[in-house]
Amino acid sequence: MVLLVPACVAALFALLPLGYLAVRALERGPAFAWEVVADERTLDLLGRSLGLTAVVVAACVILGVSLAWLTVRTALPGARVWSVAATLPLAVPSYVAAFAWLSAEPDLAGFGGAALALTLVSFPYVLLPVAAALRGIDPAQEEAARSLGHGPLRTFLRVTLPQLRPAAGGGALLVALYVLSDFGAVSLMRYDTFTRAIHTSYRASFDRTPAAALSVVLVVMTVALVAAEARTRGRAGHARTGGGTARPAAPVPLGRWKPLALLWCGAVVAVAVAFPLGTLGYWLTVGSSATWDLGGLTETAWATLGVAAAGAALTTALALPVGVIAARHRGRGARLLEQAAYAGHALPGITVALSLVFFAVRYAYPLYQRLPLLVCAYAVLFLPVAVAATRAAVLQAPPVLEDVARSLGRRPWQVLREVTVPLAAPGVTAGAALTFVVCMKELPATLLLRPTGMDTLATRLWTETGAGSFAAAAPYAAALILLAAVPSYLLGRHRT
Amino acid sequence: MRRPLAGRITALLAAGLLLPALAACGSGDDTDTDASGSGDGGDAALVIYSGRNEKLVKPILDKLEKAVGADVEVRYGDSAELAAQILEEGDRTKAGLFFSQDAGALGALSKEGMLAKLPQATLDKVDQAYRSGEGDWVGLSGRVRVIAYNPDEVAADEVPDSVHDVVEPEWKDKVGFAPTNASFQAFVTGMRVLEGDDATRKWLEDLKANGAKTYANNLATLDAVEAGEVSLGLVNHYYWYERVAEKGEDEVDARLHFLPGKDPGALINVAGAGVLADNGEQSATARKAVDYLLSEEAQTYFADRTKEYPLAAGVTSTVEGLPPLESLESPDIDLGKLESLQETLAMLQDVGLV
């Protein structure tokens, strides 16, 4: 199996933080680690984290599915514009969104504010795969349902929605893991979650053992979530060949619902895109500390683009074998492989960064505090984003074509190169673009692992806000959002 | 429809990838380079891990480079995270000097034996109260806990003289503080040292029961006082002076109250520096750097730029309206004893404040 070796390399890579956590958590014996974990506060944090995750995921699914359906399948005026606009929130870092809301409405702090900020930056994780799936679905089944007398709503619920479940489930999983690992929004909104407790633990005691023990709980939660998502997938297969051609579905007329649909799209875009951008504009115009250091800004922007591109490239390369195996094989081994790839994703960036410090200092010292290590950190952190995209893309490529290629005497790697990869390419590139965006926004691992003296837009943003000069931070935030908007825009226009 | 998009994104990725990836591969191969980035390879180059914000300290660290006569590379980050990073790096740390925002992070490194003893002459420049009992780090600038108040909400002479008063019913729902902030936690640790665990726990419980509002940090707390969201805020003094320097005193509504009578709420904490042990080549330069940071030039810089108290003997603050350090009636406490942060955290967690 040509894919197995690279896939295992990717999985081992993603398991690095786990090895580190085991070493650190057990440093003072299992009894101490258990004492940390068995504290009643752990249960409380668990409840708070899961509660926030559930609310954000539910909201993201509602926003993501409704917007995807409206923009892809209905006669919504300006559908393409809306679909691009609805992808742009991806470009907004959670800490910027949280800050924008807090500065406008301090009372938002707490559960509500955290849920709001996280929902508004992460619903495109659901929107994108669902929109792609909607375009890939054969409209014939829906037409059949309609011809049997089902109304549009009933058809959507009974026929379309079940087919969207894998895409929405995969997106929801990414959202859930994002919420579990987020530090920026929850810390600004002062809502205590596991990740925030892990940060507090580092901060207050400089002690890595309790933080590691708590992180292990996060990993367990990740595995449970990934397993739960795998269950919801069921046996759904999406590929089709023969018996008709995939063609665009006829747009559903909205009729008297049109104003309401437009209002819905407009409201989402206003709060998720226009509002944070407006806030930045406001800081820029009123703040006395605003300075346009164009040279510094350009240099930082280039560095950011460079590391994010490298991170996206490595992540995509590592995700490819894992994604193909996850899509094509149902065995326990394939499942474990996929779950391993998700291991690092729910962990706070600081934990992943410290684990790479630990390994690099011991086993790869020449690479320490150099770009390759930072790029590796991005891969560990964001592998699932690329795996999910790859897996979905391969699932939509008919396995029959691979069988045909094999029957024509092609070797496995030739099948991969000549059939699977070309068919999955658009989805894989979309995954790469998504990874690119999340790499650009990453902060804690970048702070610890970047080469000394190197800055990204996110670290500059951190520096400026750390000194309390929000206006000076605004150009960096604006640049970050604008640059991340380019791949987001392409994703929004993505047509498979 | 497929190709153009895939092509565009691939081109975008490839274009961005080319430069740094090539650079990365190139530099990753030659294993013997010691310093990263700019390729300046002098053995005595000093690497400073700075938990202090770049905006605040870069100018003085630029001058430090000339003063110590060696290349200086500065790695900026969060004090606690950099301390964790140094602990993770162990004796292979790249850092020669750790410049920390608070005594706690220095104490953590000291406890693990990561810091080298400083020469007595260096230590003697700073009052014993503001340096390590072990002689392995010194405070460079002082920061005092104060109560910020909004004059529209509370008259100057009604502001409490003790943090014990803010848990009284008259301040119900009117107090803001930042429980996750290192300075607040250091203050609670100080209270534990001064008044014992039981009294401190009671105070925290009363504070919570009294509806005190929590904020992410001192700045957010000060903002809340400005906005009248709370009447009193437990903060560090320099945030207010920095804001006044930025906006002008007329534009800032909040005022500060320095607590009298050695109240635990008037604790003076420090930002400081320590030289990493086991980092032979850098150590001499790092010691010179500490001496420079205690020089009149550097100390005056801290006074002017960050509005903190200079700690080197003979240098006084230049900030208008700032009470002299000697006039403050802060509690007598060994800053080395503020290392028991872990117990403070446990207590804050128990009470449900963090």
Instruction: Note the pLDDT tens digit of each residue in A159-207.
Output: 888 888 888 888 999 999 999 999 888 888 878 888 888 887 777 667 7
> Chain A window 367-406: which residues touch B at a Cβ cutoff of 8 Å?
367-372, 375
ipTM confidence = 0.84
DSSP A338-399: HHHHHTTTTS-HHHHHHHHHHHHHHH-GGGTTSHHHHHHHHHHHHHHHHHHHHHHHHHHS-H
What are the structure tokens assigned to A373, written together?
Answer: 């290590």
> What number of other Cβ atoms are within 10 A of residue B334's Cβ?
13
Q: What is the distance between the alpha carbons of residues A400 and A6, in angstroms, rounded to a whole number?
A: 24
What are the structure tokens assigned to B308, written together?
Answer: 């903190």
Q: Tell me if B24 and A490 make a contact (CB, 8 A cut-off).
A: no
Q: Tell me if B77 and A496 make a contact (CB, 8 A cut-off).
A: no
> What number of other Cβ atoms are within 10 A of residue A5's Cβ?
10
Q: Which positions ≥6 away from A397 have C-beta within 8 Å?
A: A239, A419, A420, A423, A424
The distance of Cα A373 from the centroid of its chain, to the nearest Å, equals 21
Lowest mean pLDDT: which of A17-31, A242-256, A278-292?
Answer: A242-256
**pTM of this structure:** 0.84
A35-52: average pLDDT = 86
> Chain B window 222-251: which residues touch A at a Cβ cutoff of 8 Å?
223-224, 227, 229, 239, 242-243, 246-247
Residue of higher predicted confidence among B126 and A477: B126
Report whether B96 contacts B47 (CB < 8 A).
Answer: yes
Instruction: Note the pLDDT tens digit of each residue in A405-431.
Output: 888 888 888 888 888 888 888 888 888
- Reported as a pLDDT band with limits 50, 70 and 90, residue A318 is very high
Cα B207 to Cα A332, A461, B47, B214, B348, distances in angstroms: 53, 34, 43, 11, 11
Sort out which chain A residues have CB atoms less than 8 A from B278's CB and list them: none
The pLDDT value given to residue B318: 84
Taking chain B (354 residues) in runs of 10, the rounded mean pLDDT of each run is 45 43 38 38 76 91 94 91 91 93 87 94 93 93 95 94 95 92 88 94 96 86 92 94 86 93 92 89 92 96 92 89 90 79 82 80
What are the structure tokens assigned to B81, written together?
Answer: 């995270």
The owner of tokens 């929107």 is A127
Instruction: Report strand pairing: B268-275 vs B97-100.
Output: antiparallel
Mutation target vs A (from B349, B350, B351; most A CBs, 10 A cutoff): B349
- Using a 10 angstrom Cβ sphere, with 0-12 exposed, 13-18 middle and 19 or more buried, the burial of residue B39 is exposed
Sort out which chain B residues have CB atoms less than 8 A from A248's CB and list them: none
Q: Which positions ≥6 away from A475 have C-beta within 8 Å?
A: A284, A290, A291, A292, A293, A297
The pLDDT value given to residue A311: 96
Alpha helices in A270-366 (DSSP H): 275-286, 294-328, 332-342, 349-363
B300 touches chain A (CB under 8 A): no
B76 touches chain A (CB under 8 A): yes
Which of A303, A366, A436 lies closest to B31 in CB terms? A366
The pLDDT value given to residue A492: 66
The owner of tokens 């108290």 is B309
The pLDDT value given to residue B30: 36
Bridge partners for B139 per DSSP? B272
Q: Tell me if A453 and B9 make a contact (CB, 8 A cut-off).
A: no
What are the structure tokens assigned to A230, written together?
Answer: 């795998």
> Chain A window 321-350: which residues touch B at a Cβ cutoff of 8 Å?
350
Q: What is the distance between the alpha carbons of residues B240 and B258, in angstroms, rounded to a whole number?
A: 12
Instruction: Note the pLDDT tens digit of each residue in A329-364.
Output: 877 788 888 888 887 788 888 889 999 999 999 988
The pLDDT value given to residue B26: 36
A379-387: average pLDDT = 91
CA proximity to A297, closest of A453, A147, A407, A456: A456
Sort out which chain B residues have CB atoms less than 8 A from A313's CB and list them: 13, 17, 21
pLDDT at A32 over 90: no
Q: Which positions ≥6 away from A387 have C-beta within 8 Å?
A: A319, A322, A323, A326, A338, A341, A342
Percent of chain A with pLDDT over 70: 92
> Chain B window 114-173: which residues touch A at a Cβ cutoff of 8 Å?
none
DSSP A26-75: TTTHHHHHHHHHTSHHHHHHHHHHHHHHHHHHHHHHHHHHHHHHHHHHB-
Alpha helices in B69-181 (DSSP H): 79-89, 103-111, 120-123
What are the structure tokens assigned to A228, written together?
Answer: 């739960």
The pLDDT value given to residue A328: 82
Q: Tell me if A204 and B341 make a contact (CB, 8 A cut-off).
A: yes
A303 touches chain B (CB under 8 A): yes
Q: What is the distance between the alpha carbons of residues A167 and A237, in angstroms, rounded to a whole number?
A: 11
